Amino acid sequence: MKHILMASFVLALSMGAGMVQADNQKLRIISWADYVPADLIAAFKKETGIDVELTLSNNEEMISKLRATGGAGYDLAQPSQDRILAAQREFGIYKPIDTIKLKLEQFQPEFLSIVRKNTTLDGKLYGLPYLWGTDGLVVNSKRTKIADYPDLCRPDLKGKTAVRLRRPTLMAFAFAAGKDPFALYGDTKAYGALMDQVGAALIACKANFKFFYDNKDQLLNGIRSGEVVAAMMWDTGGWTLNRSDPDIQFVVPRSGALGWLDTFALPARGRNDAAAYAWINFTMRPENAARVIKSVGSFSAAMNTAPLIDPRLKAQFAAAFPNNDLKGIHWYPAIPPGLEEMEGRVLDRVKAAN
Amino acid sequence: MRDSRWHGRLALGLLLAPALLWLGALIVLPHVDLAVLSFRERTGPRVYTPSLAQYKTFFAEPLYWHVFVRTAIMSVIATFLTLLLAFPIAWIIAKLARGRAGSLLFIICLIPFWVSETVRTLGWMILLRESGVLPALLVKLGLTAVPVELLYRDATILVGLVYTSLLFMVVPLVSSLESLDNSLIEAAYDLGAGGFSILRTIVIPHAAPGITAGCIVVFMLTLGNYLTPTLLGGKNSQWFTEQIYTQFITRFNWEQGAAFGFLLLGLSTALVMLGLRASGQRFGDVMRRT
């Protein structure tokens, strides 16, 4: 016992020493699965000598972790663009981005304008676009057919569908009910009423859900094993499944797909901004952005990646959004404070319903 | 004389220092911090005022105390089931198995705990899921026409909880049963007592501190368990610890989460005290016997 204690003590000490030493040679990123492929990390190390240390996470965890440390522990985070402003206003976990240090010409201007609109606070920019995609439906076409979110609640699909118990699901079902939740962002009362309505619909539908999935693997597992025949899912997840099993298809819901855009953001107490800027410039180069696209399957906000993208992915995209028509996509605006609390209450109720 | 006494105290203090430091820095301080958190309310961006709002929300919103009560009841049931299952095992280990057989049985109880709880729970999921081992077996045996989903039910949660906590019941039971003098039981038989009355009047009273200790440990572990109810219960888990996690991590509502944490602490303390009172045990005695 004594030896183990001693050994772990020595180990902890040496690790601490190592950390201090390699500080400016290390970039700590908190991001989503597949967003930072291993070959890109290796290429970055070769070019700059900087090691990348990666932590996998999701929107809520990223914010919670940064909040717990006051924005320390990571040098670069990748939250969704609509989740930055409220978190910044409330917890001050990010620092403004100095665009002079960046090659902005590497970004597609449409996406830059979205983040400019949604992540600017007091004239300072807090987010840069990285990857985007849409949420929609994925279906096992051999087993059933669906056209919109409420179809997940059809009696013949009892126990065979899945959604996430998170805010995108609330938004999706609101749009499917013919409402526009984003238009009600300013009207707390009407928004609360709409969320109650959506919550009631989800409670009525609960018997239909096999599970509420928390991660990609859980959903993929359910679909591949045939336990789940239809689910709310993001486009490229559906397309990936489609490549291994043609029966599984991504469906753009009749009420429109929800567009998400994930970003680069700098944690307030990150220690290596120089490396973070270097990394952003590096990953947004077309050839590197193409590597990311290949890893995650989503679309990049980088310029000139079109010739480098897998033609199958392009064909799948063209089939889902004919004529490159992105007009029907509902992009998330920045969430005003207070709304998430109401949504949380609704989600809790769905979770607790029988 | 005084010098040596002072030395003794110093030595005692030094010996206790790591434990006290541990208690103070890692248990008491965070709890004080959480207590402060739980008694405040967000009134604007980065503005907080002292208030009882978090506790009021708990009582005003039925779903929170439903989950709370449900967690308590399920934990009591799980504790009781664990006791029922562990008692015969402990009896066999302490009284019937001789020599190496006893230690072998004990090791068999221990082996599952060499694997982490996550892996054990995922093992259960592989066995019980719709496309898993057990439903397929049921179909093969002709008991069900199609594979049945065995996950995401209350019974599944209970199975997982009992399995996870069995060892913590067996250990105190074995140690308290081992000290039971066999001649007492033989004498009772000689005087014509039946198996049930021996159990009721001799074995259980003797093992009472062990039973109580086991029940307290299992109950606390169950009530505070997060992984097993969440994974095995899925969409219907509704465990209070999950509620606390949700408030802290996905809702960014630390104040509410802290209040929930203290309510859970209060609940477990109250129920343990109630259990001790009902069984006529004293906490100190029980802890000494284990």
pLDDT in tens, B217-256: 999 999 999 999 999 998 888 899 999 999 998 888 899 9
Nearest residue on chain A to B252, alpha-carbon basis: A64
Which member of A61, A90, A227 has the closest CB to residue B130? Answer: A227
A332: DSSP letter: P
CATH node for A133-259+332-352: 3.40.190.10
- pLDDT attached to residue A23: 58
Nearest residue on chain A to B47, alpha-carbon basis: A90
pLDDT (tens digit per residue) in A64-82: 999 999 999 999 999 999 9
Confidence at A292, pLDDT banded by 50, 70, 90: very high
pLDDT (tens digit per residue) in A128-186: 999 999 999 999 999 999 999 999 999 999 999 999 999 999 999 999 999 999 999 99
- Sort out which chain A residues have CB atoms less than 8 A from B252's CB and list them: 60, 63-64, 67, 87, 90-91, 340
B140 located within any domain = yes
Residue range(s) defining the domain that contains residue B196: 53-289
- Sort out which chain A residues have CB atoms less than 8 A from B148's CB and list them: none
Which member of B46, B246, B249 has the closest CB to residue A90? Answer: B46
- Sort out which chain A residues have CB atoms less than 8 A from B234's CB and list them: 211-212
Which member of B61, B64, B235 has the closest CB to residue A212? Answer: B235
- pLDDT attached to residue A16: 46
- Sort out which chain A residues have CB atoms less than 8 A from B251's CB and list them: 340-341, 344
Please state, in angstroms and rounded to a whole number, the distance separating the CA atoms of residues A144 and B219. 45
Do A18-132+260-308 and A133-259+332-352 show the same overall fold?
Answer: yes
Exposed, middle or buried by CB within 10 Å (0-12, 13-18, 19+), for B27?
exposed
Region of A146 on the Ramachandran plot (φ > 0 left; ψ -120 to 50 alpha; else beta):
beta
pLDDT (tens digit per residue) in A315-330: 888 888 876 667 778 8
CATH (domain of B78)? 1.10.3720.10
- pLDDT attached to residue A327: 73
- pLDDT attached to residue A121: 93
- pLDDT attached to residue B290: 57
Nearest residue on chain B to A223, alpha-carbon basis: B131
pLDDT at A201 over 80: yes
Which member of B67, B252, B253 has the closest CB to residue A352? Answer: B67
Asked if B66 has any chain A CB less than 8 Å from its own CB, the reply is yes
- Sort out which chain B residues have CB atoms less than 8 A from A225's CB and list them: 129-131
Please tell me whether the overall predicted TM-score, pTM, comes out greater than 0.95 for this model: no
Average pLDDT over residues B73-87: 96
Q: Do A340 and B249 touch (CB under 8 A)?
A: no
Interface size between A and B, measured as CB pairs under 8 A:
62
- pLDDT attached to residue A28: 96
pLDDT (tens digit per residue) in A267-284: 999 999 999 999 999 999
- Sort out which chain B residues have CB atoms less than 8 A from A349's CB and list them: 63
Q: How many distinct structural domains can be found in chain B?
A: 1
DSSP three-state, residue A282:
helix
Can you give the residue ranges of every domain in chain A?
18-132+260-308, 133-259+332-352
Which member of A340, A349, A354 has the closest CB to residue B251? Answer: A340
Please say whether the beta carbons of A246 and A146 come within 8 A.
Answer: no
- Sort out which chain A residues have CB atoms less than 8 A from B61's CB and list them: 345
CATH T-level topology, domain A18-132+260-308: D-Maltodextrin-Binding Protein; domain 2 (3.40.190)
B10 located within any domain = no
Asked if B130 has any chain A CB less than 8 Å from its own CB, the reply is yes
